[in-house]
Amino acid sequence: MPTPTSPTGSDPEAHTLARCVGDPDRFVRDHWARAPLHRPGADAAAFADLFSLGDVDHILSSTTPRHPAFRMVKDGRQLDPRSYTRSGRVGGQPVHDLADPGRVYEQFHAGATIVLQSLHRFWPPLTRLARDLEGALTHPVQVNAYVTPPAARGLGTHRDEHDVFVLQVYGRKQWDVHDPDGRTEDPLIAAELAPGDCLYIPQRFPHAAWTAETASVHLTVGVVPTTWADVLRRAVASVLEETLSGEPLPAGYAADPAGIAAGVADQLGEVRRRLDKLDPGAIAAAAADRFWAGRPPILTGQLQQLLGLERIGQDTVVRRRPGAGCRLRRREDRLEVLLGDRALHMPARLEPVMRTILASDRLAVGDLAGHLDPPSRLVLVRRLAVEGLLETVP
């Protein structure tokens, strides 16, 4: 396996990884995709800004989630959604999977675990957490919450096909993590997680968790890895599409497979020749582009930004929007500004001013006087606000 590289994200991204694992360099070197890690928290409120028991109540009682955005499990099995959902109408259309808060709480009181899924899609603190971890690790991240009553077990011993960070936010929960190859019956980690603790479990490591005297709320931050197979499969598939003929095999080939062996050898030879001509650098760059292209800006507050565009003046202070990725790429006399799901094309002479903007924690529009005249400064800053890269500082 190639030597892992340390995260090279910006300060917020590195800080987010550090709040989970401590030393990011040591984590990447010794644990990432290799070995589990239990990091007791020095501060019981370390993750209190992310999610809380009160937030669970708010989501269940006030927002009417729909299955499968939430589900319930008990003793290793999924409960029938009909036992905790109800019918209703949304936008005049009948639906049959709305959360029934009363029945959800009844099932919880009877020992069932509440699972809130894909919270990173709509809960802002977890949206930012996921985006920062993605920036540090450059692998996709998702976040679920598990709410387990006292003396209960939700899922049984199982393996995940992705890595997870377990962040304990309320109560306590016991975890056992086992060797994936069964080289020892004793767990590699047996720990009771308290608020502020983090547990990292690489993919395919069997694990189980249960509560004793207290209820528990923990976040499972799933890191869905991009694998070597994912990257190379695309390259090989492109070669196959370009190389192999769409001509059908000879009639009767299945009755005489030896008769087409020479043709198979010719096709394999041509595939090998094409594979040998592939540019590893181009394949690696394409994989990176696919990752960044799936990270659009987090547009919290964008309505206010759009409605305030005309009030932006030379004294207005702006900053890079949290979670907004941006990369610059020169294309001869043009500059590509890559903003996740979109790209802006500018004259190459704007590269210095763009680098100034990206390197600044915050700046006034007038601070760009060394690069652009006053009208041009306003045009650029307003355009970057429209695209979700910049926001005004209240």
- State which of 223, 243, 263 marks the end of a domain: 223
Specify if 44 maps to a domain: yes
Give the span between the Cα atoms of 169 and 153, in whole angstroms: 17
138: left (phi over 0), alpha (psi -120 to 50) or beta: left
CB-based contacts of 297, cutoff 8 Å, min separation 6: 321, 323, 324, 325, 339, 340, 387, 388, 389
Is pLDDT of 124 > 50? yes
Three-state SS letters, 35-59: CCEEECCCCCCCCCCCCCHHHHHHH
244: how many CB neighbours lie within 10 A of its CB? 12
- Determine phi and psi for 31, rounding to 5 degrees: -125, -35
Which CATH number is 171's domain given? 2.60.120.650
Among 181, 204, 223, the domain boundary falls at 223
User: CB atoms < 10 A from the CB of 376, how many?
Assistant: 13
Produce one character per residue of 335-368: b if its CB has 16 or more CB atoms within 10 Å, e if not.
Answer: bebbbbeeebebeeebbebbeebeeeeebbbebb
Q: Are residues 324 and 186 in the same domain?
A: no
83, part of any domain: yes
Q: Are residues 76 and 151 in the same domain?
A: yes
What are the structure tokens assigned to 123, written together? 């809960």
Domain-located, residue 4:
no
The answer to whether residues 370 and 273 belong to one domain is no
In a domain, 3, yes or no: no
Type of residue at 60: L
120 touches 141 (CB < 8 A): yes
* pLDDT, tens only, 38-80: 999 889 999 999 999 999 999 999 999 999 999 999 999 999 9
Same domain, 181 and 115: yes
Q: 223, 254, 269: which is the final residue of a domain?
A: 223
Candidates 109, 105, 117, 113; CA nearest to 79 is: 113
pLDDT in tens, 291-347: 999 999 999 999 999 999 999 999 999 999 998 999 999 998 999 999 999 999 999
What CATH number did the domain enclosing 329 receive?
Answer: 3.90.930.40
Please give the pLDDT value at position 59: 97
Domain-embedded: residue 1: no
Range of the domain at 91: 11-223
**Residue 53 falls within a domain, yes or no?**
yes
Note whether 83 and 153 are same-domain residues.
yes
Both 247 and 284 in one domain: the answer is yes
Distance (Å, rounded) from C-alpha 25 to C-alpha 14? 10
Tell me: do 81 and 210 sit in the same domain: yes
Q: Is residue 374 part of a domain?
A: yes
Once rounded to an integer, what is the mean pLDDT over residues 98-116? 97
Pair (153, 196) in one structural domain: yes
At residue 3, the pLDDT reads 47
> Could you tell me if 148 and 278 lie in one domain?
no
* Same structural domain, 179 and 54: yes
C-beta separation of 319 from 382 below 8 A: no
Determine, yes or no, domain membership for 382.
yes
* Domain count of the fold of the chain: 3
Predicted confidence (pLDDT) per residue in 173-228, tens digit = 999 999 999 888 899 999 999 999 999 999 999 999 999 999 999 999 999 999 99
In a shared domain, residues 86 and 157: yes
**Both 219 and 164 in a single domain?**
yes
Which pair of structure tokens corresponds to residue 243? Answer: 């190389």
